[in-house]
Amino acid sequence: MGSRYLAGKLRKGNVDSTVKLIGWVQKRRDLGGLIFIDLRDRSGLVQIVFNPTESEEALNLAETVRSEYVIEVVGKVVDRDPSTVNPKMETGDIEVVIQQIKIVNAAKNPPFQIQDETDVAEDVRLKYRYLDLRRDPMQKTFKMRHQATQVIRNFLNEEEFLEMETPMLTKSTPEGARDYLVPSRVHPGHFYALPQSPQLFKQLLMVSGFERYYQFARCFRDEDLRADRQPEFTQIDIETSFMTSDEIMEMTERMMQKVMKEVKGLDINLPFPRMQYDEAMERFGSDKPDTRFGLELVNLSETVQDSGFKVFRDAVDSGGSVSAINVKGNGESFSRKDIDKLTDFVKIYGAKGLAWMKAEGGEVKGPIAKFLSELEVAEIKKLLEVSDGDLLLFVADKKKIVYDSLGALRLKLGKELNLIDESQFNFLWITDWPLFEYDEDAGRYFAAHHPFTMPKTNDLDELKANPGEVKAKAYDLVLNGYELGGGSLRIYNKEMQMKMFEILGFTVAEAEEQFGFLLEALEFGAPPHGGIALGFDRFIMLLAGRTNLRDTILFPKTASASDPLTDAPSTVSNNQLKELNLQLNKIKNV
Amino acid sequence: MGSRYLAGKLRKGNVDSTVKLIGWVQKRRDLGGLIFIDLRDRSGLVQIVFNPTESEEALNLAETVRSEYVIEVVGKVVDRDPSTVNPKMETGDIEVVIQQIKIVNAAKNPPFQIQDETDVAEDVRLKYRYLDLRRDPMQKTFKMRHQATQVIRNFLNEEEFLEMETPMLTKSTPEGARDYLVPSRVHPGHFYALPQSPQLFKQLLMVSGFERYYQFARCFRDEDLRADRQPEFTQIDIETSFMTSDEIMEMTERMMQKVMKEVKGLDINLPFPRMQYDEAMERFGSDKPDTRFGLELVNLSETVQDSGFKVFRDAVDSGGSVSAINVKGNGESFSRKDIDKLTDFVKIYGAKGLAWMKAEGGEVKGPIAKFLSELEVAEIKKLLEVSDGDLLLFVADKKKIVYDSLGALRLKLGKELNLIDESQFNFLWITDWPLFEYDEDAGRYFAAHHPFTMPKTNDLDELKANPGEVKAKAYDLVLNGYELGGGSLRIYNKEMQMKMFEILGFTVAEAEEQFGFLLEALEFGAPPHGGIALGFDRFIMLLAGRTNLRDTILFPKTASASDPLTDAPSTVSNNQLKELNLQLNKIKNV
């Protein structure tokens, strides 16, 4: 018997052929003395049939077969009876009448059925990940991931980028997230760090003259996990010399366009819209706006700065702002109780309250209406484009709280009111980021992106005098409200880089100790360079229409960073610890 | 001024064009009032010329420029004067007469010159790796590495393999080399291990039904380093279901053939020769024979088993063997002193001595000649194909010592006598490996490949009774005396896998604790599967004609596993240790 056929690829053209198939038993049905099996392999499913006329022996053996057995069969492809044609199956026109069957491997009854939809608890799915991965949606997701990988590679190869591998055993640096550490055996008391990103190495590759680098880079962050975070993740890491930020953005757009076309069959228009960071915060209360729906924030600070409504006036007076959302046509559908719930929601984000009005009969009504002058109401109606039946929601607070709370409320309402067209893919650039963010708790500035980001000014004195005002040559790519990734031009001048470290609170000695190699590299003919890093797992999640990042990673970790399949992390032997010159602290709470 | 041209791509066809170039100053020469600069970018070099007629201003600025400055220039491509045409440069027919120059970034005087050949100490090269990488041979190696990566990917994609990413934060397992550990912050006292290879995950992917997986996988081993070892390295990791070992080898051969053709322009004949492990040891004293030259070992045990020469007779009597190498035509060129040196050399490998004879005037002479009978001499001459002028070198010892010492001696002589054709690429499969190796010190068997390798027998009792005799369904690929990689079919049956662990000295509980997830996975319809893993760094080293693995890795570690560039590994803060629940032992010797 010749070579193997793939189950899912059999078609009418194969009718009358004798074929060998190997795969898994998806489902067995016994019906009127016959046995039907849906046989599954990597290509899909085909129905195979055992009947006593064809082979009594095969039929008998087929009776012992259960779900997830691996079997090898030989049979003849035949047309299905028109009444049993299954248009939902790609192979639904035909079936294979089996002459021989061999049981290749048996299977215990699986803890859950291998089917498209599953409501099995996620920890069970992860413990039996190898079964979970047999499900069709998982198979499709990882085929899509493979495909997207190749499209991106081909694109970058054509743009003359070189794929290059940077080290995983690197140096721990204090800025950024928490490092995963790797104790050195050879150097007692010393540690490697797993890279949070290959940032410094990709910059050094530019200093090395390679000019165009990319990598699907594994990155590590020891942070507390959320649904869209994993301790290890993959980013498409790109760096180039001698390109402007416009050129880098334009190239990234073409890359995304190609992926959308080749993986999803969708045409995406270029260029992607661009929005300055400040505008994004004002209009969407977010640095990663989902632009698939409206419900935009409208800043009313000017209108209400002298308002009789003290809450509004005070907010503006103390440097904050007042913004509102017009929930069009939803005045009736939100009861007082509903609005109370929204109020509770915005409080999560620090808002002291949620003021509201409803438009009815050409007027606005609600608890705060009486405090507003006619002029103010008129202006509010104009700015919010109010018509009868609208619900208006206001937050007056510090700017950050206004943005955070109304931004989150906007997303919540957008989902609950079904305003989002899930078939849309809205790419958006956010530009003109602040270079620094001030951290009240730490009492110092932090880099909004990272300390190697080029400021929009060359004036070191200006930078030092007003760090909070300086913008960065940075750009983030947003897709449907998710940050796909970010990039920037980098500092390629030692003095500027030292100034950055100074503003971030480093002494010269600290900067030299931590980043001396970079500072030195900048003195040997560093080219102007920049790049971008895109979260690949998240991109695949959006492409595959999933909402859980774990569905895009073959063997992900749980929210406590463990793997229920292998039981990692695990205890190790005393000898291993001794070799690493380590001992464990006494553990208080496990 | 329009877009940038690449320096190394300018040709006669560009003559009379005005071009913008950006790059590094390779060399500046001042000559008769003119300045000549070799300008370098990622594409190569071009000569640019400053002269006072074209632009006095540019000439003046060019005078301030030094090696490794980054400059941007605009000029006109012209034919070189026939007397100055440089046939060694790809752009040697033309030069660019500069109208404008801008200094993009200055450069300090580099610690070593950026030129093709360098005799700078390696630690200096590694400390200034970004300068070392500017050298043309390094640029070429990493371009070749990129190219080989893409050729292999394209090949595997066409074979319907999926590129898939397995985790880096995995579980520590006791078999194999020493793990790099990563302490968990969330689970005090617990550790992840960095993968020595994705072996278990790729097997689980087969259980998951993906059937064809590959990955350029980063792997980690905390072992003492040699010139051809690095703590982290990259392997081409391949696994497939439902293929025979012949099919896997045949596919690997076609992949290698394609790389050799597309990267090196060489035609390699298929199939690759195959040799059984036992034969390789007998003929070459090595499980990775370099077959580019002869000097093969000849086993004389039968001939000398009853010899009057006690050393020979005893070796055979006690289960060892006697083998010899005929160093053809080199009887005269090796003095007694030379042979003494060879004797010292084989002693490194545990040999007690090196017996020798020279063939002269139809006879053999030398200290041992008198102990050998006429019949023995005749047989030896026949087996070793001796003619006048030959030098015969004998080792009589335990088999392992005979193989190790004569195998190493063969390589040494092959190199010293220039017997190796460096232009040849000799691929070779080594098959029929032993399944286990017995370790005298540990007093137990170890897996010769890994514990998941399929034995050549299905008989569990036979396996248990005579583990040392059982062969494995394993195959290693050797290139020019280097092990490129190895593969095998895997066990896909729980009982067989348990038996393996038993022979390796695991209790049932230990096997369950360490590998329970694999054992369980084998019960849910595991397909027959197998694969191969190829050392990619080493392959590139051989393709690029290098002898140091560090020349094929962008940012390698030294022999003490440190990075002179970033100073990794480094100390970390007490707070970092505290968060990981660790403390350092008092350090005795640093």
The CATH number linked to A66 is 2.40.50.140
Residues of B in contact with A169 (CB under 8 A): 180, 220, 231-232, 557, 561, 563, 568-569
Amino acid at A73: V
Using the predicted structure, report yes or no on whether residue A206 has a pLDDT greater than 90.
Answer: yes
Residue A333 or residue B116, greater confidence: A333
Task: Examine the fold and report which residue of B79, B105, B131 is the final residue of a domain before the chain moves on.
Answer: B105
Residues of A in contact with B204 (CB under 8 A): 129-130, 555, 565
Using the predicted structure, report yes or no on whether residue B174 has a pLDDT greater than 80.
Answer: no
Query: How far apart are the C-alpha atoms of B176 and B43, rounded to whole Å?
Result: 44
Taking the CA of residue A272 and the nearest CA in chain B, the distance in Å comes to: 23
> Which pLDDT tens digit goes with each residue over B534-568?
999 999 999 999 989 999 999 999 999 999 999 99
Helix (H/G/I), strand (E/B), else coil: B221: coil
Mean pLDDT of chain A: 95
Same domain, B58 and B129: no
Q: Which run of H or of E encompasses B126?
A: helix B122-127
Q: What is the pLDDT of residue B403?
A: 98
Using the predicted structure, report yes or no on whether residue A256 has a pLDDT greater than 60.
Answer: yes
Count: domains in chain B: 4
* A388 annotated binding-site participant: no
List the single best residue of B136, B181, B519, B557 to mutate versus A (max A Cβ within 10 A). Answer: B181
> Which pLDDT tens digit goes with each residue over A324-356?
999 999 999 999 999 999 999 999 999 999 999
Using the predicted structure, report yes or no on whether residue A507 has a pLDDT greater than 50.
Answer: yes
Q: What is the DSSP letter of B143?
A: H
Residue B183 and residue A181: Cβ atoms within 8 Å?
yes
Residue B168 and residue A234: Cβ atoms within 8 Å?
no
Using the predicted structure, report yes or no on whether residue A587 has a pLDDT greater than 80.
Answer: no
pLDDT > 90: percent of chain A: 92
Is residue B449 included in any domain, yes or no? yes
Using the predicted structure, report yes or no on whether residue B590 has a pLDDT greater than 60.
Answer: no
Same domain, B401 and B531: no
Mean pLDDT for A55-65 is 97
Is residue B282 included in any domain, yes or no? no
Q: Out of A492, A566, A581, whose CB is closest to B105?
A: A492
List the single best residue of A21, A192, A202, A565 to mutate versus B (max B Cβ within 10 A). Answer: A192
Residue A469: half-sphere exposure toward Cβ, Cα within 13 Å: 8
With bands split at pLDDT 50, 70 and 90, how would you rate the model's confidence at B227?
Answer: low
Q: What is the pLDDT of residue B345?
A: 98
Q: Which residue has the tokens 């309250």?
A: A353
Using the predicted structure, report yes or no on whether residue A124 has a pLDDT greater than 50.
Answer: yes
Question: For A463-466, which contacts have Cβ atoms below 8 Å and span 24 or more sequence positions?
Answer: A463/A435, A463/A499, A463/A500, A463/A503, A464/A499, A464/A502, A464/A503
Cβ distance A139 to A159 under 8 Å?
Answer: no
Mean pLDDT for B436-447 is 90
Residues of A in contact with B222 (CB under 8 A): 185
Amino acid at A410: R
* B505 annotated binding-site participant: no
List the single best residue of A112, A158, A165 to mutate versus B (max B Cβ within 10 A). Answer: A165
Q: Out of A105, A183, A220, whose CB is closest to B527?
A: A105
* A221 annotated binding-site participant: yes
> Per the structure block, which two tokens stand in for B367?
């200290």
Is residue B485 included in any domain, yes or no? no
Taking the CA of residue A67 and the nearest CA in chain B, the distance in Å comes to: 9
Going by C-alpha positions, the residue among A447, A452, A435 that lies closest to residue A200 is A452
Same domain, A380 and A434: no
Using the predicted structure, report yes or no on whether residue B73 has a pLDDT greater than 80.
Answer: yes
In sign, the C-alpha dihedral spanning A457, A459, A462, A466 is positive
Same domain, A504 and A523: yes
Is residue A583 included in any domain, yes or no? no
> What is the residue-wise DSSP string for B330-360?
-TTT--HHHHHHHHHHHHHTT-S--EEEEEE
Is residue B482 included in any domain, yes or no? no
Using the predicted structure, report yes or no on whether residue B476 has a pLDDT greater than 90.
Answer: yes
Q: How far, in whole angstroms, is CA A552 from its chain's centroid?
A: 9
Cβ distance B556 to B550 under 8 Å?
Answer: yes
Taking the CA of residue B333 and the nearest CA in chain A, the distance in Å comes to: 45
Cβ distance B468 to B434 under 8 Å?
Answer: yes
> Per the structure block, which two tokens stand in for B60?
């003046």
Q: A289 exposed, middle or buried (CB, 10 Å; 0-12, 13-18, 19+)?
A: buried
- Which CATH number do you get for residue B325? 3.30.1360.30
Q: What is the pLDDT of residue B457?
A: 87
What φ, ψ does residue B559 adopt, rounded to 5°? -65, -20
Q: Out of B524, B526, B568, whose CB is closest to A169?
A: B568
Amino acid at A579: E
Here the ipTM equals 0.95
With bands split at pLDDT 50, 70 and 90, how would you rate the model's confidence at A543?
Answer: very high
Same domain, A348 and A451: no
Residue B231 and residue A169: Cβ atoms within 8 Å?
yes
Task: Examine the fold and report which residue of A401, A420, A439 is the final residue of a domain before the chain moves on.
Answer: A420
Same domain, B363 and B400: yes
Q: Which run of H or of E encompasses A31?
A: strand A18-31
Q: How far, in whole angstroms, is CA A82 from its chain's centroid?
A: 45
With bands split at pLDDT 50, 70 and 90, how would you rate the model's confidence at A225?
Answer: confident
Taking the CA of residue A437 and the nearest CA in chain B, the distance in Å comes to: 24
Q: Out of B143, B162, B562, whose CB is closest to A142?
A: B162
Alpha helices in B384-493 (DSSP H): 399-416, 460-465
Cβ distance B25 to B37 under 8 Å?
Answer: yes
Lowest mean pLDDT among A46-50, A134-138, B116-120, B493-497: B116-120
Is residue A253 included in any domain, yes or no? yes
pLDDT > 90: percent of chain B: 92
Mean pLDDT for B324-329 is 97
Residue B521 and residue A130: Cβ atoms within 8 Å?
yes
Q: What is the pLDDT of residue A227?
A: 65
Residue B182 and residue A182: Cβ atoms within 8 Å?
yes
Using the predicted structure, report yes or no on whether residue B587 has a pLDDT greater than 90.
Answer: no
B212-241 b/e with 16+ CB inside 10 Å = b?
Answer: bbbbbbbbbbbeebeebbbbbbbbbbbbbb
Beta-carbon contacts of residue A359 (< 8 Å; ≥ 6 apart): A331, A365, A381, A386, A387, A388, A389, A390, A392
Query: How far apart are the C-alpha atoms of B493 and B454, rounded to whole Å?
Result: 10
Q: What is the pLDDT of residue A115?
A: 87
Same domain, A37 and A90: yes
Using the predicted structure, report yes or no on whether residue A586 has a pLDDT greater than 80.
Answer: no
Residue A374 structural domain: 293-420
* B490 annotated binding-site participant: yes
Query: How far apart are the C-alpha atoms of A395 and A322, rounded to whole Å?
Result: 6
Is residue A62 included in any domain, yes or no? yes
Same domain, B255 and B204: yes
Query: How far apart are the C-alpha atoms of B300 and B323, rounded to whole Å?
Result: 5
Same domain, A435 and A414: no
List the single best residue of B134, B160, B182, B514 to mutate versus A (max A Cβ within 10 A). Answer: B182
> Which pLDDT tens digit goes with each residue over B132-172?
999 999 999 999 999 999 999 999 999 999 999 999 999 99
Is residue A1 included in any domain, yes or no? no
Same domain, B131 and B263: yes
Residue A150 and residue B146: Cβ atoms within 8 Å?
no
Same domain, A488 and A543: yes
How would you write A274-286 as a 3-class SS string? EEEHHHHHHHHCC
Q: Out of A149, A576, A584, whose CB is closest to B581?
A: A584
Beta strands in B204-252 (DSSP E): 212-220, 232-241
Residue A384: half-sphere exposure toward Cβ, Cα within 13 Å: 35
Q: What is the pLDDT of residue A590?
A: 45
Using the predicted structure, report yes or no on whether residue B407 has a pLDDT greater than 70.
Answer: yes
> Per the structure block, which two tokens stand in for B5?
């041209």
Same domain, B101 and B179: no
Using the predicted structure, report yes or no on whether residue B589 has a pLDDT greater than 90.
Answer: no
Query: How far apart are the C-alpha atoms of A23 and A27, rounded to whole Å?
Result: 12
Q: What is the pLDDT of residue A174?
A: 74
Task: Examine the fold and report which residue of A58, A85, A105 is the final residue of a domain before the chain moves on.
Answer: A105
Query: How far apart are the C-alpha atoms of A512 and A497, rounded to whole Å?
Result: 11
With bands split at pLDDT 50, 70 and 90, how would you rate the model's confidence at A483?
Answer: very high
